[in-house]
Chain A
Amino acid sequence: MKGVLSLDVLTGILNSMIALATPFLYAAIGETFAQTAGVVNLGVDGIMLLAGFGAFFVTLTTGNLWLGLLAAVAIGLAMGLVMSVVSVTLKAEQGVSGIGLYMFGLGMSSLLFKVLVGTVKTIRGFQPLSIPYLSSIPFIGPILFHNSVLVYGAFLLVPIAWVVLEKTGLGLKIKAVGQNPAAADSLGISVVRIRYLAVCLGAALAGVAGASLSISLLNLFQDNLTSGQGFIAVALVYFGGWSPLGVLAGSLLFSVVNSIQLWMQVLGVNLPASVAVMLPYILTILALMLSSNRARQPAALNKPFDRSEN
């Protein structure tokens, strides 16, 4: 246990925290849009897997990381469209259709990986970029200002999402169809169109979350690469009270626990690996308990809108 809390270790833990928060931020902010509009997309993990594979495969074959990222966004959009058709137009039970989307992404990414790639290969992913001057600040400089472009993007997304949701007409419409779709409909807002938009935007961001794992953080693909991070991201939306800032707080909390868990293994702290790996999942359940009975929950969450019923 000696030397566990040295400055180097602390820097290491915070560095991993920032990196590990990235996929959570993309996926959970994206899910915040969908849920604010009233749709729970439980397929986030499946989108992350298939988009993560797409980004990896395109990068592997073309050598172009930006094309890889584009592929991830395209796959996310396509899967978001499927989720929208099934859950918004056909009014399926959202919990069930989301699990279907997850299983599709899980199976398809594994199938494509085995057929098209075969063995675990690594690629050269997005490299850290130092921001001039800021990155030379002692201690916090290297932690905050020496990261890959997808990490910066994830943290920039938080204020952007906040502005979109709180300060724009689009944000108001998204909230309206999530709170009271019948009233929104009577004001001439197309509930279906806004929900499609929010779900697809969220799914595209889930795609970026997958890409952030496969072409920025880990730089590889393997079966079930996410190991349930997409589901934790959905839980973070509840925990964050449907607000981008709450999601940021939750993502940082989760990634710091994850990073401490990883560092404990690196440092050989006497705790079985399987027990350490359990921690984030236990924490998720605790987070869900703490965030239960939130008054902020969109009133029409999980409820398909049927014009003829109103």
Chain B
Amino acid sequence: MDPSRGAAAQKESAGPAFDWAKLVLNGALPLAGVVAALAVAGIFLALLKTDPLTAYAALVRGSLGSTFGLTQTLVKATPLLLVGLGICIAFRANVINIGGEGQIIMGALAGTVVPLALPGLPGWLLIPAAMVAGFAAGAFWGFIPGILKARMRVNEILSTIMMNAIALQFMNFLLQGPLMDPENVKRGTFLAQSARLPQQAWLPRLVPQTLLHAGIIVAILLAIVVYIFLWRTTIGYEIRAVGLSPEASSYAGISVRFNVALSLTLAGGFAGLAGVIEVIGVQHRLMDGLTSGYGFTGIVAALLGGLHPLGLIPASVFFGGLLVGADKMQRAVQIPSALVTAILGMIVLFVSGAGIWARTWAAKRLAGGRKGAEAGR
């Protein structure tokens, strides 16, 4: 055990002291990463004989240029924020959850089955019931890799990726069999989608003639809850302590295994909730392609939000806008929206690469003020 790391854990967890240098670093670095990724993607576009400015203009117009675009941005920000909250919790325990996609699917499945099975319930009961079921299903899908990591040290990155593939096939199986819309079967179309949910299970719409639903309010409230959970509760403190130094934590009597499993279970729960809300807020039925890569984009949003629940709110809105803009760009100027996946990948590379470097640099600058020549090297 390295005693200095333990001391750092103590100091860090004393509370979120307001630190301007940290705020500037946390804000400037992601922005620089985004700009760099857009610039490199622009070079690729130019090589493909496409004007990057036309593409980016279409992207911005698509997300910000109309009321519908703006509300869609918030619609897409909702699952990103929820998935990202789970990723933040896991990351704080030094656990990387790549299983968002699978957890969203499991949550969506539960959030479809509950309203279909209990169509007689009133909305005030049915909506919370669906959400609880979805959270539980996602949490279960996170618990499996969580307990495997805690008990057998199974690499969670690999196991969560495998859980994604298993969940996807499970959904395909259900949508082509037991869950397939009976209307569909009667008409002989055999589309892979479930029956429409009873209307009282739908989340209320916030702006008429748009798809913006109450899910965004739930997500923002939960961001505040997660912030309080991580920084104002004992269990949140323990999760962060385990992430900073497992050795020091277990020395202090904190169970590393329990907190590792818990953080992945909670991460799965939030992703599961994203799945339910997508079903009862947007689609009103379970359909193929429901996750739209939110499980991965949520990771990028969490990283850019500084792995902080409140920083995640603007980051989710930004990436929601990027996704909406990309769809519009594909239709307006025929540039495939896959461009955005490549941009997201580059943002992760830039931000993760620059992160440690910038932190070391900042630490040296700060130490330089106090210690002088020794740290100035």
Contacts and interface: CB of A to CB of B under 8 A. Distances in A.
The yes or no verdict on A and B being binding partners is yes
Interface of A: 42, 46, 82, 85-87, 90-93, 95-97, 99-108, 110-112, 114-116, 223, 227-228, 231-232, 234-235, 238, 272, 274-275, 277-278, 281-282, 284-285, 288-289, 292-293, 304
B162 A285 contact: yes
Contacts of B344: 103, 107
Contacts of A87: 353
B358 to A, nearest CB: 10
Given A107-B343, A107-B345, A288-B159, 8 more contacts: A96-B303, A99-B299, A103-B341, A104-B345, A106-B338, A107-B340, A110-B341, A272-B173
Contacts of B157: 42, 95, 99
Contacts of B200: none
Nearest to B148: A289
A245 B364 CA distance: 46
B251 interface: no
A292 B152 contact: yes
A103 B296 contact: yes
Contact of A231 (B158, B335, B340): B158
Interface in B167-216: 169-170, 172-173, 176-177
A82 B176 contact: no
Contact of B338 (A42, A111, A292): A111
Nearest to A111: B338
18 contacts: A93-B96, A95-B96, A97-B348, A100-B347, A100-B349, A100-B352, A103-B344, A103-B345, A104-B342, A106-B338, A107-B342, A107-B344, A110-B338, A223-B338, A234-B158, A238-B158, A292-B152, A293-B153
B177 to A, nearest CB: 7
Interface string B213-229: 00000000000000000
A232 B157 CA distance: 11
Contacts of A289: 148, 152, 154
Contacts of A46: 345
Given A93-B352, A278-B169, A285-B148, A100 B158 contact: no
Contacts of A304: 356
Contacts, number: 152
A275 B250 CA distance: 41
Question: Which 3 residue pairs of A and B lie closest in terms of their CB atoms, listed nearest first?
Answer: A107-B341, A100-B348, A104-B345
Contact of A86 (B169, B170, B353): B353
B342 A108 contact: yes
Nearest to B154: A288
Nearest to A97: B352
Contact of A228 (B152, B161, B349): B161
A277 B148 contact: no
A296 to B, nearest CB: 14
A293 B152 CA distance: 7
B145 to A, nearest CB: 8
Nearest to B40: A104
A98 B348 CA distance: 9
Interface string B128-158: 0000000000000000000010001111011
Contacts of A85: 353
Contacts of B36: none
B152 A104 contact: no
Nearest to A234: B158
Nearest to B96: A95
Q: Chain A CB within 10 Å — which of B96, B154, B339, B347 has the most?
A: B154
B354 interface: yes
Contact of A96 (B158, B173, B342, B348): B348
Nearest to A297: B153
Nearest to B358: A90
Contacts of B172: 274
Contacts of A275: 169, 173
Contacts of B154: 285, 288-289, 292
B306 interface: no
Nearest to A92: B352
Contacts of B166: 278, 281-282
Contact of A235 (B48, B158, B348): B158
Contacts of B173: 272, 274-275
Contact of A274 (B176, B296, B357): B176
A43 to B, nearest CB: 9
Given A91-B356, A110-B341, A96 B96 contact: yes
Interface in B253-297: 296
Contacts of A114: 336, 338
Q: Chain B CB within 10 Å — which of A105, A107, A115 has the most?
A: A107
Contacts of B170: 274, 278
A97 B349 contact: yes
Given A90-B357, A99-B98, A272 B176 contact: yes
A117 B50 CA distance: 15
Interface in B37-59: 44, 48, 50
A103 B155 CA distance: 19
Contacts of A238: 155, 158
A177 to B, nearest CB: 19
B133 to A, nearest CB: 22
B269 to A, nearest CB: 20
Nearest to B156: A95
B96 A284 contact: no
B346 interface: yes
B26 to A, nearest CB: 16
A108 to B, nearest CB: 4
A79 to B, nearest CB: 10
A86 B338 contact: no
B311 interface: no
A97 B162 contact: no
A281 B335 CA distance: 33
Given A104-B346, A278-B170, A292-B154, A97 B353 contact: yes
